[in-house]
Chains A and B, each alone.
Chain A
Amino acid sequence: MKASAFAYARATSVVNALELLAVYGDKAKVLSGGQSLMPAMNLRLISPEFIVDIGELAELRGIVVKGDVLTVRALTRHVDVLRSPEIATHAPLLKDATSHVAHPAIRNRGTLGGSLAHADPASELPACMVALGATVIVCGPRGERRIPAQEFFTGIYETALSPQELLVAVELPVARKDSTHFFHEFARRHGDYAIVGLAAQSTIVGGQFTDLRLGFFAVGDRPLLAGAAGKLVNVAVTPEVLAKASAILGEELDPQGDQQATPAMRRHLAKVLLQRCVSRLLCRPDLQSGEPAR
């Protein structure tokens, strides 16, 4: 379990990192927190010729609120997201979700930008970006691009990033005062990749959703912003309404089977999550068949 030989450079600035990427392109890999890259290299699943280490780039760290926009720079570590008062206030969904990312040792090193660029369909943070309507900011040889989260994730470990580009930050709309959120995932053990997960952001007025964004993950090749949410907005949610939304969700999903779950089980669990999410957000225990009390 030793990585094969590679060349290494520690970027001194974003500009320098982009220069290196311009030279090495898809032969290079960007090293951020290294929590996915290093194991993959040590297992020789990938053998990049060149590593561009951006770990020292202070300009890529930090969480800033300006007006209605919360900017989280790419090198922000998961532990910093968890401890940030700005995140707790303005994107509490992201805080909840981050507590499900692996274990403390990994959260101490892993970064938000790294997780998004890696684009594992079973990981939590891409789904949060989709649910929160984030904008992903990338820099490349031709300058900056601003990519809506929904367009950023294009497949299993695939994104809209080109090999010459660097993910530098995400921008999130500051959560409205009357918004609520729900995050839950089914994982065999705490910290494991989810079998199915849901990151949801909503606005509720008078017991009805006026806005509902459901970001499912581990149900396809990329996070899914479920269209089923449309059936639940601006209506009095009854068990029948919920059942209809659930049926639509089932059609939207294209889950893969693996050792933890068949596609049928993933579909079933996604529907359970939908039911629990709606019941919790609307404070309507009657919408749920049998939620554990603990």
Chain B
Amino acid sequence: MTRTPEDRAAFSVLDRPNSYIGKTVPRPNLDRLMQGRGLYVSDIELPRMAHVVFLRSPHAHAKITGIDAAAAKRMPGIIAVVTGQEIAAVITPWVGVLSHLKGLKSAPQSAIAVDRVCWQGEAVAAIIATSRAAAEDAAEHISVAYEELDAVTDMQTALDPTTSVIHPALGDNLAFERNHDAGTVDAVLAASDEVVEAEFIFGRHTGVTLEPRSVVADWNAAEARLTIYQGTQAPHMVQNIAALHLGLQESQVRVVCKDVGGSFGIKVHIYADEMATYALSKLLRRPVKFVADRVESFNTDIHARDHRCKGKIGVKCDGTITAFEIDDLTGIGPYSMYPRTSAIEANQVVNLVGGPYVTKNYRARARVVFQNKNVMCQYRAVGHPIACSVTEGLVDLAAMKIGMDPVEIRRRNLIADDAYPCASPSGLRFEQLSHHAALAKLIKMMDYDALRAEQAMLRARNIHCGIGIASFIEVTNPSAAFYGVGGAKISSQDGVAVRLDAQGAVVCQTSITEQGQGSESLTAQIVGSVLGVSMDRVRVILGDTDNTPYGGGTWASRGAGIGGEAALQATKELRKNILDVAAAILQSSPGDLDIVSNSVVNVSDGAPRIELSELARIVYFRPDTLPPGIQAELMATRHFVPREYPFAFTNGVQASWLEVDTDTGFVKLLKHWVVEDCGTIINPQLVDEQIRGGVVQGLGAALFEKCIYDERGQLTNANLADYLVPMSGEMPDIDVGHVVSPTLESELGAKGAGEAGTAGAAAAVTNAVNDALRPFGTIITEIPLTPQIILTALGRI
């Protein structure tokens, strides 16, 4: 059932007096961050701490024939210069494959390159010094002899027999291929009134985090224990992998994740230089700090997208979409990333194309090839922007071909809101989506008909504006189906422990993490609401493998839906325990009591009976006064993982209104709308911020962001002057609306909202640009939509 946000009657646990659920409340961590009292990894200073700088390969592909570091080692402040061969003594290599991605192959990757570099930016030596500046000085005095090898850079020729194979042991440059065929594609295409084809090109880009990747690794030889301070999304995953490759037990590794300056999927992977930093600490028996600078961030933070996808759609004159067919190709760099692999994005493209629509006829091929470029992996909305741009681009082309309005063709083909549960053509199961309700709300918010009239009026004045619509689905709340079933030690469950302390305040430990998106806030809101205490009494502890339950962390839009449910269940248990004790103290029965505003009250008349602080005093200091046989448990722990559905799909629709200056090729974004359905909304402002931030990253992909490589595999714009991140000056107002279809898999009903904005923004913009350019008879299916591309398409240059 789809409901409006106001209607929360079904959720008694959440709909309590003074509930914080569904309310915009300030984040508890805001004052700390605004007053500059955050603690980021680069703020951490430990006694005897050294700094590591990595000397990185200038070549995309080369043999290392010699490293001479003698001069560098003599320079002031230098503690050590460590090569790949030397560090291999303390850390083993890894291979980024998962068993459920059949056929996926990759080669062993080392913390520091041993005898060969495979991309420009791969580390060839570590310089450890008393300061970063001293290490950078010494780096200039290390001479590395290289013998250049052929670089595989063009994904389109990577599989040609004449192209050299990057890892000869693998036989070819094909990392992964997936084929899918459902329904009767050939037959229905043959019977269609129109078949439209296009090739969609997506620039390689990256997620630019304000805080770069940073690690302080501290090996305490006396304790035989490694403490890793790292801005990561998945502390337990880092713990597992660091232990595995350093030859330690997990209990010998503690991962502490304090404040993080943005992640977006960039910080959910295992990077070679971070592994090297852990190993260096063990090798040198002292704390070592690595903070990536901006240039090395561009050269080593995972890149994403970089797809070429041929698409085909069949349509009948009445607008019925008969089939989708795609052939996707992507290049992932020289190694499949560890441990989540670099096949997931292409796999997601196959999963998601055609997802919002009724047709069951769908054929797809995806191929993932190796290249001598930086590694590629999961970045916010993995695969979604590709799948959405291809699907929605094809739908618009079909509509154009049969002369139908883009909204109307969607109305006729989106899965009906009462058709659930059902499955997508790729076999994904949907519990409850709301495409039509969302589209109807979007049309109203943007006043579609009035905008069309304005467009026509402006066109008469030679001003070319366009409207673009993009429906989408989004994977959230992943179960073990994502990684666990493939053998990765990445937990899909999360745990929360809550306890009442001796003064009646609440301490909550959760395994989800805070990257700035508001995990701390939403956890406190749930705990406060379910327990009946004010939020200022709730302290949330996260990001510490020694001090939180075991869990997955932050990725795939899972924190609120999975960690939030664990918090709800743990708090329900604590509440029950408190009421049991209260009933014993008050000679009442638990069912007659409730907790409201930090006090135990009567259910019948709401009269306060005992303050939680008084109850806690009795439990902790005068348990002798409790009736015999009563043992209070003022701490409760619960875990949660979705079991019924592999993923809780969400849906939504975006629209873009923009102007194309056909003389200059410049696009001006005028307005953007999003309607999305993430189920129960815990904090409207946090959700809207997630949507808007996600949209902005999608708009970056649409218009600005691209890692530009030359044919020799050199990244030519690895700085913030040449790599264009979207900035506020170019961003339009973004209006966000909601439809609420809670998942029934949890009592909370929340699904994820972190990636919806990124999923559909570029598709909406591309469709709007093509809508604006309709009078010129040109179609552009390549992003970023630069002035150069638009002017070229218009034949102006």
Among residues of B, the one whose C-beta sits closest to the C-beta of A258 is B722
- With contacts A5-B137, A189-B724, A290-B462 taken as known, whether A260 is within 8 angstroms of B729 at the C-beta atoms is no
Is A264 touching B797 in the complex (CB atoms < 8 A)? yes
Identify B133's interface contact among A2, A193, A272, CB under 8 A.
A2
Is A186 touching B787 in the complex (CB atoms < 8 A)? yes
In the complex, identify which listed stretch (B12-20, B107-115, B501-509, B658-666) lies at the interface while the others stay far away: B658-666
Is A186 touching B724 in the complex (CB atoms < 8 A)? no
Residues of A with C-beta under 8 A to B663 = 272, 289-291
- With contacts A259-B716, A292-B661 taken as known, whether A190 is within 8 angstroms of B462 at the C-beta atoms is no
Asked if B788 lies at the interface with its beta carbon under 8 angstroms from chain A, I say yes
Is A2 touching B659 in the complex (CB atoms < 8 A)? no
Give the CA-CA distance A4 to B659 in the complex, in Å.
47
Asked if B132 lies at the interface with its beta carbon under 8 angstroms from chain A, I say yes
Is A190 touching B727 in the complex (CB atoms < 8 A)? yes
Give the CA-CA distance A44 to B137 in the complex, in Å.
10
Give the CA-CA distance A4 to B141 in the complex, in Å.
13
Give the CA-CA distance A191 to B717 in the complex, in Å.
18
Is A259 touching B730 in the complex (CB atoms < 8 A)? no
Asked if B708 lies at the interface with its beta carbon under 8 angstroms from chain A, I say yes
Q: Mark A65-92, 1 if CB is under 8 A from B, else 0.
A: 0000000000000000000000000000
Residues of A with C-beta under 8 A to B622 = none
Asked if A179 lies at the interface with its beta carbon under 8 angstroms from chain B, I say no
Residues of B with C-beta under 8 A to A268 = 791, 796-797
Give the CA-CA distance A190 to B724 in the complex, in Å.
11
Asked if A125 lies at the interface with its beta carbon under 8 angstroms from chain B, I say no
Is A186 touching B133 in the complex (CB atoms < 8 A)? no
Asked if B294 lies at the interface with its beta carbon under 8 angstroms from chain A, I say yes
Among residues of A, the one whose C-beta sits closest to the C-beta of B704 is A188
Residues of A with C-beta under 8 A to B726 = 189
Asked if B1 lies at the interface with its beta carbon under 8 angstroms from chain A, I say no
Identify A195's interface contact among B461, B464, B787, CB under 8 A.
B787
Is B730 touching A190 in the complex (CB atoms < 8 A)? yes
Among residues of B, the one whose C-beta sits closest to the C-beta of A273 is B664
Asked if A20 lies at the interface with its beta carbon under 8 angstroms from chain B, I say no
Residues of B with C-beta under 8 A to A256 = none
Is A1 touching B295 in the complex (CB atoms < 8 A)? yes
Residues of A with C-beta under 8 A to B796 = 268
Residues of B with C-beta under 8 A to A186 = 664, 666, 787
Residues of B with C-beta under 8 A to A43 = 295, 719
Residues 237-294 (chain A) with a chain B CB within 8 angstroms: 259-262, 264-265, 268-269, 272, 289-294
Q: Mark B759-787, 1 if CB is under 8 A from A, else 0.
A: 00000000000000000000000000011
Is A4 touching B137 in the complex (CB atoms < 8 A)? yes
Name B's interface SS: loop
Task: Give the B interface residue count (CB, 8 A).
Answer: 41
Give the CA-CA distance A45 to B666 in the complex, in Å.
32
Give the CA-CA distance A205 to B175 in the complex, in Å.
71
Identify A2's interface contact among B136, B461, B464, B666, CB under 8 A.
B136
Asked if B610 lies at the interface with its beta carbon under 8 angstroms from chain A, I say no
Residues 663-686 (chain B) with a chain A CB within 8 angstroms: 663-666, 668, 670
Asked if A192 lies at the interface with its beta carbon under 8 angstroms from chain B, I say yes
| CB of A200, distance to nearest CB on chain B (Å) | 17
Is B787 touching A261 in the complex (CB atoms < 8 A)? yes
Residues of A with C-beta under 8 A to B722 = 259
Among residues of B, the one whose C-beta sits closest to the C-beta of A263 is B797
Is B132 touching A2 in the complex (CB atoms < 8 A)? yes
Asked if B196 lies at the interface with its beta carbon under 8 angstroms from chain A, I say no
Give the CA-CA distance A3 to B136 in the complex, in Å.
9
- With contacts A5-B137, A189-B704, A290-B463 taken as known, whether A272 is within 8 angstroms of B659 at the C-beta atoms is no
Among residues of A, the one whose C-beta sits closest to the C-beta of B296 is A1
Give the CA-CA distance A264 to B791 in the complex, in Å.
11
Q: Mark A2-13, 1 if CB is under 8 A from B, else 0.
A: 111100000000
Is B668 touching A292 in the complex (CB atoms < 8 A)? yes
Residues of A with C-beta under 8 A to B717 = 259
Residues of B with C-beta under 8 A to A195 = 787
Is B729 touching A189 in the complex (CB atoms < 8 A)? yes
| CB of B50, distance to nearest CB on chain A (Å) | 15
Give the CA-CA distance A272 to B463 in the complex, in Å.
16
| CB of A3, distance to nearest CB on chain B (Å) | 8
Residues of A with C-beta under 8 A to B719 = 43
Identify A292's interface contact among B659, B665, B716, B791, CB under 8 A.
B659
Give the CA-CA distance A170 to B709 in the complex, in Å.
42
Most buried by A among B462, B663, B665, B670: B663
Is B730 touching A189 in the complex (CB atoms < 8 A)? yes
Asked if B536 lies at the interface with its beta carbon under 8 angstroms from chain A, I say no
Identify A191's interface contact among B463, B661, B729, CB under 8 A.
B729
B residues adjacent to A (C-beta < 8 A): 131-133, 136-137, 140, 293-295, 458, 461-464, 659, 661-666, 668, 670, 704, 708, 716-717, 719, 721-722, 724, 726-727, 729-730, 786-788, 791, 796-797
A residues adjacent to B (C-beta < 8 A): 1-5, 43-44, 186, 188-193, 195, 259-262, 264-265, 268-269, 272, 289-294
4 closest Cβ contacts across the A-B interface?
A2-B133, A190-B729, A1-B293, A290-B462
| A-B pairs with beta carbons under 8 Å apart, 24 shown | A1-B295, A4-B136, A44-B136, A186-B666, A188-B704, A189-B727, A190-B727, A193-B721, A195-B787, A259-B708, A260-B788, A262-B797, A265-B665, A265-B788, A268-B796, A268-B797, A272-B663, A289-B462, A290-B462, A290-B464, A290-B661, A290-B662, A291-B663, A292-B463
In the complex, besides A4-B137, A189-B727, A259-B717, 5 extra interface pairs with C-beta distance below 8 angstroms are: A43-B719, A44-B140, A189-B726, A193-B721, A262-B788
